[in-house]
Amino acid sequence: MNTPMKFSLATAFIILAIGGVFGLLHQQRLTVLRADHQKLIAQAEKLGITPDLTDEFGALTVTKRQRGDRENEAASLAAELVAFSRDMEHQGKAGVTPDPAFQKRGLEMISRLMALDATQIKAVIAGLRGDATLTDSARRNILGIAMMMLSEEHPAAVLALFTESADMLDESPLSRQVISSALGRWAKDDPFAALEWIRKNATAHPDLADEDAKRGIIAGAALTDPKLAFKLIGEMHFEDASSAIQALVEAGKTPAQRTAVLEALREHAATLPDAVARDEVLQESLESMGRNLSDEGFDSVKSWLATARLSPQESAHFAAGLSYFNTQEDTGRWIDWMGQTLPKDQLGANVDNLLGQWTQQDYQAAGKWLSAAPDGPAKNAAVSTYAGTVAEYEPQTAIQWALTLPAGPERQTTLVAIYHNWPANDAAAAAEFARAHGIDTEAEK
């Protein structure tokens, strides 16, 4: 029996976006795939299809049905996909929302498609190509989904099939995603073969053998050999090398992968003759690491930082990439870490960025943390940001916090920020506040 294909997050997104089974918007970016994937799992369970969560990325594995005649199975599934696509188009034109039975029918066909081996999927694709009843749009969508399935374990086969079917897929919005996904998966095992595909197809398919496809190779190669990935960036002649480096850095999802990426990054930076260029590469890369903490908690990342031995400046770059949207309930602990780690001249801006986002999203939780935070430069920076941000909701609370700061430039700057953020519908109170604290309103205008 063949090993069943795994239902990756990227595949889940394609099915959600193109199949329209759950009515989700296709404008969603790959950065929110985890939430989409959970919706898919919940919907599958609701419809009686039990997923088996097995791999480290939360991939969905569907057990294969026993198959007798493999060719008949592929031909039968191709015919059912055609019929399903026609029904879906009719429902879309009529403005009908798919009912649970129709949704279950789609999921079951997807499960069966995932259970096929490479030869069978090729047969399905051949059947779809030859069916004259399909509209060009429907054919492109189903072919794209089938190829995305195949790219999980047979990326080279997908790319070969693509070149054979390019006349049908060039206009598909899925084409770039199929190519990028397949090249990234192939590059993980054989980056030079993936690079050779780019070279051979760049002329015939310049819109597809593009920067996105190249970045897919870099990201795939980085999973196993980040140092090689950096070398490939130089060989692939990117129009924007910084975006390629970002793709490489973002491939480091686990502590071990981040360590390998960081070592490769430092080696690469050391080869750059210009000091400014070295600093820019390190800054952009470390900020990208901070932005892409995935679902790791504070303790895990802090443990990795201890082994990474970042310099104070490198730590500041990493901190600049942090945002409330990936620190969440650990935001206060990250601000504490900044206070213990960052150079004083880098502390204010980084605390301002993180606490400002936190206050905008949940000012009560931010205020509660601030009340318990130990005195020090990090707290002072946090107080200044909090007071200036919360002023638009509760100016009197903002004033109370500002007055906890030591008398001096930082307190006065905070008071001015409160004045500027004072609710617009209470101009008289804002003017009185300015007079009480020596703020020159004319100069501020």
Q: What is the pLDDT of residue 98?
A: 75
Least Cα distance to 292 among 352, 219, 363 occurs for 219
Q: In this structure, is the dihedral angle defined by the CA atoms of residues 210, 60, 116 and 45, taken in order, positive or negative?
A: negative
**Residue 49: predicted pLDDT:** 46
pLDDT tens digits for range 21-58:
322 222 233 333 334 445 445 555 554 544 443 333 23
DSSP, collapsed to helix, strand or coil, labels residue 60 as strand
Alpha-carbon dihedral of residues 207, 208, 212, 218, nearest 10 degrees?
-130
Q: Can you say how many angstroms the Cα of residue 19 is from the centroid of all Cα atoms in its chain?
A: 21
- Which residues of the chain are modeled with pLDDT < 70? 1-69, 165-174, 207-208, 294, 445
Contacts of 314-317 with CB under 8 Å at 24 or more apart are 314/282, 314/286, 315/341, 315/342, 316/342, 316/343, 316/346, 316/350, 317/282, 317/283, 317/286, 317/287, 317/290
Q: What is the pLDDT of residue 445?
A: 67
Q: How many whole angstroms separate alpha carbon 190 and alpha carbon 186?
A: 6
> Residue 12: its pLDDT value, please?
39
Residue 52 has phi, psi (to 5 degrees) of -115, 105
pLDDT at res. 101: 83
277-316: pLDDT as tens digits: 889 999 999 999 999 886 788 999 999 999 999 999 999 9
Q: What is the pLDDT of residue 168?
A: 60
Structure confidence at residue 45 (pLDDT)? 53
Q: Return the pLDDT at 158.
A: 80
Core vs surface per residue 346-379: b (16+ CB within 10 A) or e: bbbebbbbbbbbbbeebbeebbebbeebeeeebb
**pLDDT (tens digit, 9 = 90+) per residue, 141-169?**
777 777 777 777 788 888 887 777 666 65
Domain borders along the chain are 1-153, 169-291, 338-445
DSSP state of 408: T
Element (H, E) at 16: none
Whether pTM > 0.75 for this model: the answer is no
Tell me the residue type at 183. L
Question: What span, in angstroms and rounded, lies between the C-alpha atoms of 137 and 368?
Answer: 54
